[in-house]
Amino acid sequence: MTTSRRLLAALRTPLGALAVLACSALLFLVVFGPLLWGSSAAATDTTAIAQGTSPEHPFGTDGSGRDILLRTLVAARLSVTMALAATAVGVCAGIIVGLLPLILGGRIGRWIVAGINIGVAFPGLLLAISFSVILGQSGFAATLAIALAMVPSYGRLTHNLAASVWGRDFISAAHVLGVPVWKTVLRHVLPNVRDPLIVNAAVTAGNALVSFAGLSFLGLGIQVPQYDWGRMLSEGMSRMFVNPAAALVPGAAIILAGLTFVLLGEVLGVALGTGNHGSVIARFHRRLRARGAADPTAASAPVTDTAGVSADTPGASTVSPRHGKGASSHPETAVCSVRNLRVSAPGPKGEPNDLVRGVSFDIGRGEIVGIVGESGSGKSLTLMSLAGLIESPLHVSADAAHFDGEDLTLRADGHPRRLDRHFGEKLAMVFQDPMSSLNPALHVGAQVAETGRLHLGLNRAQARDRAIGRLEDVRIPEARRRFGQYPHEFSGGMRQRAMIAAGLMGTPSLILADEPTTALDVTVQAEILALLRRINTEVGTSIVFVSHDIAVVTSLCTRVLVMYRGHLVENVSAEDLRAGRADHPYTRALLATVPTMSTPRDAPLASIPDGADFLAEASALVEKEAP
């Protein structure tokens, strides 16, 4: 159901009708109240000072003989507008503060988050009073004080929602496409957290109204001769036992106006489909960013063997010395080359726990290389390292890395410094889950065309035409119409094709595919594999294909890297793998787990031996067989 339909359905309920009625009445008072009753509310009557209820004055008069009811109606404009102004300033400032940690990152971002947490520890009204005392006694100062007081809470809400989106695949895709961080936050993150922020802003406006009335009640807000509901409540309290209406009427106005904003928030929550604000968006990790540093001894890295593995580097993963035809490429001709890649996580005693252990390999131009292994073997971590997308608690390092003829040096956070200029032009990535690969808040075509506008210097019309052409190239039917549709209107296979189309906006030298067919049925899976094969054949793009399925890998790839517990244990051609010619016991164990048409139905399925002894024994066997 669309937002407009949900809104209409919500307005048809008793709660929705009451919200419309209350908002309409409040809006009428704000706009027309001073125009209709402003002069009458300001008129003093010395003959009717502090009188009780009467036909002329239903709720009596104040100490100057002015009608309490009319003054309450007129005061609606100042009370509501000041509350809305404070809400607008506070919400905008809170959104900026909440998004800054994602934009700045690193230590500065952590300090901002710490400041937000400290601010949230103090009650909002206490902060408002403190800021009001500092800024002075006036309506403007009170508005600014309330806005400043709501920044921590709203900043924390924004940051929590934004951080939950920051680890999604479409954010990683935006990084790979070369979208600047600030633009990623504004274009891809903010639209996905917009709805709960809007709903919360409506409720916050009610709280701001009460806070503003509280400051005026304490004499820190509106000053004479102006008046609002809080000022009237303060004046009426001194005559509470003479004429209770002097305090009850503005107090009731504050309560009713606050409830109006709460009702508005409830209706918006139903219309926008947010439900529980704290669980609108699934929880994901923070931005994928490494914190490694380049090894200072990388310049003196030892010479590598023809397998692309450092023969003299301590702890480097070993591979089989026999690879078959086209098994490896020389570093100088490879589109991507890595030496002694390590990815580690903080251990329980502060010592690093290696997840990827000294992996080295080359990806030749026009080559399709598969990476296989069990879950947790380090396949995806290796792939994400190539794209510079490693989760921030992890540490990545390498003796040497090359991409498309350039050396890649690591920054202090472990991110390849010179890889940024290739994002969106020469490097593309296809993620595992097609449901999360595209931003659900943006049109598919706009996301495909984004690379053209960022890197190719195309205007909006040119990027649109090129994107439509790429959608047609990946066999998406009615591409021109589909350009303006949202991801939820695409099937899973079409989403994967759209991701590939986004990568083809430039001239990619390398496509990284992280299990792109796992979530698809076999028919769509075959279509995606055929598309990748066609791109490799017609464009000459190299592909790194990660998968658990050896049958799929051997049918697509020319060479296969086998990983086990962070080690690269074998580098073998797909032809040898299909023929069952594998040196490493773990590779043979993987092949044995793949059922065939001749596998006996009554025989138990083969399993892979577990334990460190298996790895040690297998590695020793490979070294023994090596010439």
Q: What is the pLDDT of residue 310?
A: 32
Any residues with CB less than 8 A from the CB of 618 and at least 6 apart, and which? 564, 569, 584, 585, 586
Instruction: Find the domain containing 154 and state its range.
Output: 3-277
Cβ count within 10 A of residue 372:
25
Domain edge (last residue) among 277, 299, 324: 277
Nearest Cα to 396, choosing from 407, 379, 384? 384
Q: Are 174 and 270 members of one domain?
A: yes
Whether residue 299 lies inside any domain: the answer is: no
Q: What is the pLDDT of residue 278?
A: 33
Any residues with CB less than 8 A from the CB of 498 and at least 6 apart, and which? 438, 444, 447, 448, 471, 474, 476, 487, 490
Residue 472 burial (CB < 10 Å; 0-12/13-18/19+)? Answer: middle
DSSP secondary structure letters along 295-327: -TTGGGPPPB-TTSSBSSSTTPPP--S---TT-
Q: Are 260 and 320 members of one domain?
A: no
Q: Are 258 and 321 members of one domain?
A: no
| Structural domain count of the chain | 2
Which tokens belong to 394? 């992890």
Q: What is the pLDDT of residue 509?
A: 87
Whether residue 264 lies inside any domain: the answer is: yes
Alpha-carbon distances of 315 from 62, 307, 339, 360, 560, rounded to whole Å: 87, 16, 12, 11, 21
Q: Are 155 and 11 members of one domain?
A: yes
Cβ count within 10 A of residue 589:
18
Whether residue 455 lies inside any domain: the answer is: no
Q: What is the pLDDT of residue 30?
A: 94
Q: Are 205 and 66 members of one domain?
A: yes
End-to-end, the C-alpha distance of the chain in Å comes to: 66
Task: Decide if 317 contacts 373 (C-beta within 8 A).
Answer: no
Residue written as tokens 């279509």?
Answer: 527
Q: What is the pLDDT of residue 330?
A: 52
Task: Decide if 90 contacts 84 (C-beta within 8 A).
Answer: no
Residue written as tokens 């001194």?
Answer: 238
Pairing of strands 510-514, 542-546: parallel
Q: Are 190 and 321 members of one domain?
A: no
> DSSP label at 405?
T
Pairing of strands 427-430, 510-514: parallel
Q: Are 267 and 326 members of one domain?
A: no
Q: Are 271 and 330 members of one domain?
A: no
Whether residue 481 lies inside any domain: the answer is: no
Question: Which residues in the chain show pLDDT less than 50?
Answer: 275-328, 412, 622, 624-627
Pairing of strands 567-573, 559-564: antiparallel
Q: Are 351 and 202 members of one domain?
A: no
Q: Are 150 and 261 members of one domain?
A: yes
Q: Which segments of 546-611 does DSSP mark as H helices, in order?
A: 550-556, 574-578, 585-592
Alpha-carbon distances of 330 from 227, 340, 365, 377, 544, rounded to whole Å: 81, 16, 10, 25, 17
Alpha-carbon distances of 559 from 64, 356, 562, 567, rounded to whole Å: 93, 20, 10, 17
Report d(CA 284, CA 164) in Å as an integer: 5
Report d(CA 405, CA 164) in Å as an integer: 37
Q: Tell me, what amino acid is at 389?
A: L
Q: What is the pLDDT of residue 419?
A: 58
Domain edge (last residue) among 222, 255, 277: 277
Domain edge (last residue) among 256, 277, 298: 277
Q: What is the pLDDT of residue 29?
A: 94
Whether residue 472 lies inside any domain: the answer is: no
Q: Are 315 and 266 members of one domain?
A: no
Whether residue 54 lies inside any domain: the answer is: yes
Q: What is the CATH number of the domain that holds 146?
A: 1.10.3720.10
Whether residue 466 lies inside any domain: the answer is: no
Report d(CA 146, CA 130) in Å as an integer: 10
Q: What is the pLDDT of residue 48?
A: 78
Q: Are 348 and 421 members of one domain?
A: yes
Any residues with CB less than 8 A from the CB of 5 and at least 6 apart, and which? none
Task: Decide if 180 contacts 432 (C-beta within 8 A).
Answer: no
Whether residue 514 lies inside any domain: the answer is: yes
Q: What is the pLDDT of residue 369?
A: 93
